[in-house]
Amino acid sequence: MIPTPSEIFAQYERGEIERDEMHALMALNARELIAEMEEDRLNPAAALMEYLLSRRAASRLVRKHGGRLLREILHALSLERDFPPSRLLWNASHPDVPLHCFLRMRREPVFRVDSIAAKDGDVVVEVGYGSAAKGKTAKRTFTLKRGPDWKLRVAG
């Protein structure tokens, strides 16, 4: 699995990889994005449908829970190493990236936030990810707690 851009920069800053390796890994990330853009260009109807579905889902979540909390949740999930959708969420804390960009309703790998619930100061989040085939989407529940710095982190 290719590391996310934020992981690549962290590795570079710690001296674990050289500058050429950093550029090569960033190029791999860029190629993935370009491939998706080319796919959207070849199938604009599917791209439009994905855009509308993800925008509607993000709007519902923001209306119900607030954009700030949703962005915090997505950022906390992006820090999970063994969570495949973290590759999609690496820049979720950046306020200039619209929240709907992180949700993938039909395009594989899908990533959906099924529910968010606050319990005793914790936040319990249920997500679905992976395959778009009906009944094949993996489900996972995370409990997020606020740390001493008041940022949400996955508990456990």
Give the integer Cα–Cα distance in Å for 30 and 23: 10
Residue that wins the pLDDT comparison between 42 and 87:
42
Whether 123 is in a domain gets the answer yes
CA distances from 55 to 10, 16, 90 (A): 31, 38, 19
- Inside any domain, residue 4: no
Nearest of 89, 91, 102, 109 to residue 54 by alpha carbon? 102
3-state secondary structure at position 35: helix
Give me the numbers of helices (H) and strands (E) for the chain, helices first please.
5, 4
Q: Answer yes or no: is 31 within a domain.
A: no
- The average confidence (pLDDT) of the chain is 94
Query: Between 118 and 102, whose confidence is greater?
Result: 102
**Domains in the chain, number:** 1
Here the tokens at position 80 are 């999970």
Q: Confidence class of residue 81 from pLDDT cuts 50, 70 and 90?
A: confident
Report pTM.
Answer: 0.88
Residue 71 lies in a domain: yes
149: domain range? 43-154
Residue 29 resides in a domain: no
pLDDT at 90 over 80: yes
- Which pLDDT value is given to residue 134? 86
Alpha-carbon dihedral of residues 66, 71, 73, 76, nearest 10 degrees?
Answer: -160
In a domain, 115, yes or no: yes
The yes-or-no verdict on residue 156 having pLDDT over 90 is no
Convert the pLDDT of each residue in 48-77 to its tens digit. Answer: 999 999 999 999 999 999 999 999 999 999
Does residue 112 belong to any structural domain of this protein? Answer: yes
